[in-house]
Amino acid sequence: MQNVPLLINGEFVRSSSTQFIDVTNPVNSEVIAQTPVATDAEMQQAIASAKEAFETWKKVPVTERSRLMMRYQALLKENIDEIGKILSQETGKTFADAKGDVWRGIEVVEQAINMPSLMMGETVENVARSIDTYSYVQPLGVCTGITPFNFPAMIPLWMFPMAVAAGNTFVLKPSEQDPLTPMKLAELFQQAGAPKGVLNVVHGGREQVDTLLEHPDIKAVSFVGSVPVGQYIYQTATKHMKRAQCFAGAKNHTVIMPDANKAQVINNLVGASVGAAGQRCMAISVAVFVGSSKEWVEELIPKFKEVTPGVWDDENAAFGPLISAQAKERVLNFIQSGKDQGAKCLVDGSGFELPGYEKGNWVGPTLFDGVTKDMTIYQEEIFGPVLCCMHVDTLDEALELINANEYGNGTSIFTGSGAAARKFQTEVEVGQVGINVPIPVPLPFFSFTGWKKSFYGDLHAYGKQAVRFYSETKTVTARWFEDDIPSGPNMTINLS
């Protein structure tokens, strides 16, 4: 049984905690490791180590920090199969999807390599006679990240590489449900040459997170997870005068116009809704058919029946089990509520079982039609392999539906009309929009820009916004006296 270590001051250490949380393999519910709940002393040591490391790390030239990221990127690529395997075993994701999770994180490391350009300030010469103004982008200090179970590689990699390349040090608190992948990422980061204390990893739950949120030495908090926890973290972090960015839950709609390419729509809807067992914050969970495309739902039925879950190394498996028995029960309750509230369950995955893996957290692809706004399956984030189909008469009605929804993470439209696509991208009140692209997760030279209940804060993850989030701007106004400049007191606020 693996006892998950902490990373404190460059050492992987066994926690002295007496409290542990089981990490289970979702395909059979076997306990594969135990996550310690870090003691207060360990939390304090991790934060102190990050604080001390900051004093030297902030002085390391940005080019050297960038080279650390180059070495890290190479190591992540070399080890992608091993990381993918660990990730598959603790999340149940298929091997291909697990490697996709790592790959999307590697792309952020590649962005962090660009830090010398990303940290460029601004200059204006001669803002007043012989006076120049220029700005520098400087690191903040110790930053922290609290991450969810569903992308144990990508989401930690959204955070610490950008923060560290910008000159900060970091304390990561990964999900207790799948800590082995983040620990492997941390191991490779040390191997790439990260100085001790630049990255620390602690484990635990609410109490450990509170320590991070309340600690005066922590300057910025990044969080990704569910809405209630995101709201709590945003409120607590800002109450303690910290910068915070909290990415939360979602309910993503795809609009299908009658002129869309039917084959593309059907394939994209299946993959984007049930892929990764629907445990993606950008998964499509609502398909809104506009006009006469009602019969398209019929064509989804055989496609939904064709894709079946399986174990991670089965190449025919479309997706894996849910993360936990609790997550499965939650999804089954939603499916039951859909049936009870009058939605038509066209494909029902609630009874799915995989022979030989009866203890796995399986839910098969589930397709509902006739879903209405008042139903729980429409209002709540299901986070399972369930697609809800709805029908409206016009694009305006579809926009009204989406804009009235509390969430604003992602949305997409399938159409052959530029005019419809342009109207949609302009009027929809959602932060990430796909046009004939079902899951529009931006690459890391842009930022991940959820809106409304899907995000609390102002500066988003990765891209230029992350550099601003993890830094301060210092603006210098400088004059070098020349002999012929008359001196004497200036009694005004103006530069002269």
Indicate which single residue of 381, 395, 447, 463 sits in contact with ligand NAD (rule: CB under 6 A).
Answer: 381
Least distance from ligand NAD to the Cβ atom of residue 294, Å: 29
Reply yes or no on whether 281 is catalytic.
Answer: yes
Closer residue to ligand NAD (CB): 148 or 321:
148
- Residue that is written with structure tokens 């029960």 in the block: 329
The verdict on 139 binding ligand NAD (CB under 6 A) reads: no
Piece of the chain touching ligand NAD by CB under 6 A; list 50-58, 84-92, 148-156, 481-489: 148-156
Interface characters, 459-478, with ligand NAD (x: CB under 6 A): --------------------
Least distance from ligand NAD to the Cβ atom of residue 285, Å: 10
Say how many C-beta atoms besides its own lie within 10 A of residue 139's C-beta. Answer: 23
Of 175, 169, 136, 171, nearest to 154 by C-alpha is: 175
Indicate which single residue of 249, 271, 275, 431 sits in contact with ligand NAD (rule: CB under 6 A).
Answer: 249
DSSP state of 485: S
Structure tokens at 148: 């969810």
Indicate which single residue of 226, 235, 376, 436 sits in contact with ligand NAD (rule: CB under 6 A).
Answer: 226
Strands 243-247 and 123-128: unpaired
Indicate which single residue of 20, 95, 383, 470 sits in contact with ligand NAD (rule: CB under 6 A).
Answer: 383
Backbone dihedral angles phi then psi of residue 308, each to the nearest 5 degrees? -125, 145
Structure tokens at 47: 């934060």
Say how many C-beta atoms besides its own lie within 10 A of residue 368's C-beta. Answer: 26
Structure tokens at 441: 């997760």
Closer residue to ligand NAD (CB): 322 or 389:
322
DSSP per-residue string spanning 106-170: HHHHHHHHTHHHHT---EEEEEETTEEEEEEEEE-SEEEEE--SS-TTHHHHHHHHHHHHTT-EE
Piece of the chain touching ligand NAD by CB under 6 A; list 194-202, 244-252, 349-357, 397-405: 244-252
Indicate which single residue of 68, 118, 209, 270 sits in contact with ligand NAD (rule: CB under 6 A).
Answer: 209
Radius of gyration (C-alpha) of the chain in whole angstroms: 25
Closer residue to ligand NAD (CB): 76 or 155:
155
In 3-state terms, what secondary structure has residue 407?
strand
Least distance from ligand NAD to the Cβ atom of residue 456, Å: 10
Indicate which single residue of 112, 146, 255, 266 sits in contact with ligand NAD (rule: CB under 6 A).
Answer: 146
The verdict on 147 binding ligand NAD (CB under 6 A) reads: yes
Total residues interacting with ligand NAD, rule: CB under 6 A: 28
Least distance from ligand NAD to the Cβ atom of residue 108, Å: 13
The verdict on 285 binding ligand NAD (CB under 6 A) reads: no
The verdict on 350 binding ligand NAD (CB under 6 A) reads: no
Indicate which single residue of 450, 456, 467, 471 sits in contact with ligand NAD (rule: CB under 6 A).
Answer: 450
Strands 199-201 and 11-13: unpaired
The verdict on 149 binding ligand NAD (CB under 6 A) reads: yes
> Which of left, alpha, beta for 213 (phi over 0: left; psi -120 to 50: alpha)?
alpha
Cβ-closest position to ligand NAD: 225
Rounded Cα distance between 346 and 293, Å, is: 16
Indicate which single residue of 18, 206, 426, 490 sits in contact with ligand NAD (rule: CB under 6 A).
Answer: 206
Catalytic residue among 281, 345, 388, 389: 281
The verdict on 6 binding ligand NAD (CB under 6 A) reads: no
Backbone dihedral angles phi then psi of residue 123, each to the nearest 5 degrees? -140, 145
Closer residue to ligand NAD (CB): 138 or 226:
226
Rounded Cα distance between 266 and 263, Å, is: 5
Backbone dihedral angles phi then psi of residue 80, each to the nearest 5 degrees? -60, -35
The verdict on 224 binding ligand NAD (CB under 6 A) reads: yes
Closer residue to ligand NAD (CB): 118 or 461:
461
Of 330, 182, 172, nearest to 249 by C-alpha is: 330
Strands 252-256 and 284-290: parallel
Indicate which single residue of 169, 293, 405, 409 sits in contact with ligand NAD (rule: CB under 6 A).
Answer: 409
The verdict on 281 binding ligand NAD (CB under 6 A) reads: yes
- Residue that is written with structure tokens 């949305």 in the block: 411
CA 392-393-399 angle, to 5 degrees, is: 60
Catalytic residue numbers read: 281
Residues at the interface with ligand NAD (CB under 6 A): 146-151, 173, 175-176, 205-206, 209, 224-226, 229, 232, 247-250, 281, 381, 383, 409, 448, 450, 454
